[in-house]
Structure 1
């Protein structure tokens, strides 16, 4: 799940650009604006995304013991106060959320189930929402997001049986945009209703940052969630782009932000994955990108400065670890970590064996975030 989500994020941006949607103007808000809540100084919550997919190989399969160790280090070493628990599998999601609650972390729980019937997705939202409500009643600090970019993950909104087929149809222009947005609005309203029926805390949703492509009726939610991958040289341009979401008078959470660890990755605005040739087996890096963990770290810190200056509700770096994108210092052609948004690098005991035991090591981005997060205990 980890690798699929990262690729899908960038392929959406490529598809949006091909369809002439990237950088579209903001829509006018529906309904009367709500009075802005009292604002705190700086970010209220600083965290990281932790994806709990099943894994693509036995070597990267879900591990309860690994998760518990990771959550402890996210709190005690990364110094994050928030864990964005996302992915598929209710058992994995709830186990991770429970561990985060036990460690005293603020929880952003977001099921992201894709390529299955609509009913199964709504059932997953209901099960996770009920668990989030139990945590909330027990005193945990928890927000519940009903999902992420439904147009991408939910079949029937855009033609295509899988995520990749839907992205391909978008790129080829085989999408009736008006019909797509009507279907998207209907499903988003259903998901919000399911979430409200089981969870009585703050409800949210993680949307793409292009409002013309994915116009969300934020009256359905308490917190606005945006997956943010823009690149500007001038920080004021980030502020200008994000300020439009504040017109709703609701807290704004950056549900994902990040880039890859090579020179020029931030300028791709989310398309860092595109240096991998996924048609080859094993997957291979295209061209000769120059590895630069410093580039990734600098982008994350610069965006944090923007989010802090705007007193946003939360920002969660994408992501903690991507097991299916191992680091290969011995052979740059297969260093898939170059195309990973993770702040750690997986290293296999046997680099040529996908089932080999592995561990992660921190990148410069990890250390940079740790330093910044430690300043806000």
Structure 2
């Protein structure tokens, strides 16, 4: 099962909504300075290959392929920032190097499922050292994202040998929230120390906005994965007095997907040998396009530093235009639809085509 098929962050938010209650943040009474409604960082998330259950979300990878996609982000999408995430340090660094070369700001986030804490700390150190080298010799800004959603991804905080066991544990609701938060904050503080020791630019963290109570005093930027639609949910984060970046937001590509938010992936029936899209879901690129531009307006009007939709491309969710029941791109969050030479082979060569959302975001970015 690939990363796109479980959509790790959003699936869990859906499972835990109204159950865990981890996001009890006090409301902010602080005044917010008036800002012009524009985003300084106009971005898109880019997966350099994330490992999950032994699979790689980018089974086909090459520098040439990556360079072409980064070029499209700059020249066709009109973004000025790419939010790079993945499990392989070499891929992260080579993608960041290419993006900086093309004049894009970058954020670099090591991401892995079920990686032991010691290994996660060691990987972050590698990334931070490499990011500092890039920062010193580049013009565009380099930001390090120390990780995302540690409560779910990282062993040793929430009981459970793997991601699914941790989700199950939290959904049962029988736990000591203070103890979980203590462990979460202790590990986060360790990651921050590693990042600060080896990197001297700005750092942040990819937090599930209603799942984790982060001590944002440790960071330069409040970083959020936000799959909601109500801006009032983000008001509490202003109390930290720090710039806010939306590291992920978006929806899938069918009618009604914006209302499902991060749970859009869940329409897929995985009970058989191949994934099936049930007949009641209609492919709707316009719904995705309208949602992304609407949320960009929201984030700009809120005066946020930047926003990066999830995600540029999902090669592990191919578009099958002549086989609607198996058109996995319907349940994909990507701006591009992937047409593989062999749609059943995740390592097969592919080409991509922009969806309506790609064109809508490109127009928004070009005009703002």
Distance in 2, Cα, partners of 1:139 & 1:319: 25
Specify which of 249, 274, 283 is matched with residue 241 of structure 2: 249
Matches within 5 A, 1:222-237: 222-231=220-229, 237=230
Q: For residues 96-152 of structure 1, what are the alpha-carbon distances to aligned partners after superposition, in whole Å with 9 as ceiling and x for unaligned?
A: 011111111011111112212111101111111111111111133111110111111
The CA deviation at 1:59 is 8.0
**Could you tell me whether the CA contact under 8 Å between 1:110 and 1:146 is conserved in 2?**
yes
> Alpha carbons of 1:113 and 1:274: their partners in 2 closer, same or farther (altered >3 Å)?
same
Aligned match of 2:41 = 45
Describe the SS at the equivalent of 1:10. helix
Q: Secondary structure at the match of 2:131?
A: helix
Residues 200 and 355 (structure 1 numbering): CA distance in 2 closer, same or farther, change over 3 Å? closer
Q: Is the 8 A contact 1:2 1:322 kept in 2?
A: no
- Deviation of 1:7 (Å): 1.6
Structure 1 residue 19, shift from structure 2 partner: 1.9
Contact 1:126 1:194 in 2 (8 A): yes
1:41 shift after superposition: 4.9
Structure 2 residue 161 is matched with structure 1 residue 161: yes
Partner Cα distance (2:2, 2:312) in 1: 10
The Cα shift of 1:13 comes to 1.2
In 2, Cα distance between equivalents of 1:366 and 1:48 = 10
1: CA distance between counterparts of 2:291 and 2:32? Answer: 29
Query: 1:249 and 1:280 mapped to 2: Cα distance?
Result: 49
Structure 2 CA distance for aligned equivalents of residues 241 and 116 of structure 1: 30
Aligned mate of 1:303, from 284, 295, 310: 295
Residues 80 and 352 of structure 1: CA distance in aligned 2, closer, same or farther (over 3 Å): same
Corresponding residue for residue 288 of structure 1: 280
8 Å CA contact 1:2, 1:51 repeated in 2 = no
Equivalent-residue separation in structure 2 for 1:36 and 1:14 (angstroms): 30
Q: What is the distance in 2 between the residues matched to 1:334 and 1:4?
A: 15
Aligned with 1:284: secondary structure?
A: coil
CA contact (8 A) 2:125 2:195 kept: yes
| TM-align CA RMSD | 2.4
**1:3 maps to 2:3:** yes
Q: Please state whether the residue corresponding to 1:129 is helix, strand or coil.
A: helix
Instruction: Say which of 357, 362, 368 aligns to 1:370.
Output: 362
Contact kept? 1:318, 1:341, Cα under 8 Å:
yes
1:54 and 1:62 in contact (8 A); partners too:
no
Report the count of equivalent residues. 364
Deviations 1:184-212 (A, max 9, x none): 111111111111111111111111111xx
Alpha-carbon offset, residue 57 of structure 1: 6.8
Contact 1:159 1:175 in 2 (8 A): no
Does the CA contact (< 8 Å) of 2:225 and 2:248 recur in 1? yes
* SS of residue paired to 1:46: strand
Deviation per residue, 1:225-266 (Å, 9 max, x gap): 0101003xxxxx42x222221121100000001000101111
The DSSP-based 3-state class of the residue aligned with 2:129 is: helix
Tell me what 2:144 maps to. 144
Following superposition of structure 1 onto structure 2, how do residues 161-310 of structure 1 map, counting pairs within 5 Å? Answer: 161-173=161-173, 175-210=175-210, 213-231=211-229, 237-238=230-231, 240-310=232-302
1:26–1:80 Cα change, 3 Å: same
Structure 1 unaligned residues grouped into runs of 5+: 232-236
Match of 1:234 in 2: none
TM-score by length of 1: 0.90
TM-score using structure 2 length:
0.92
Match of 2:127 in 1: 128
Is 1:350 paired with 2:342? yes
Point out where structure 2 has 5 or more consecutive residues left out of the alignment: none
Report if the CA contact (8 A) 2:71-2:102 is conserved. Answer: yes
Task: Report the CA distance shift for 1:128/1:354 in structure 2 as closer, same or farther (over 3 A).
Answer: closer
Rounded to whole Å, the distance in 1 between the matches of 2:340 and 2:323 is 13
In structure 2, the CA distance between the partners of 1:280 and 1:63, relative to structure 1 (3 Å rule), is: farther
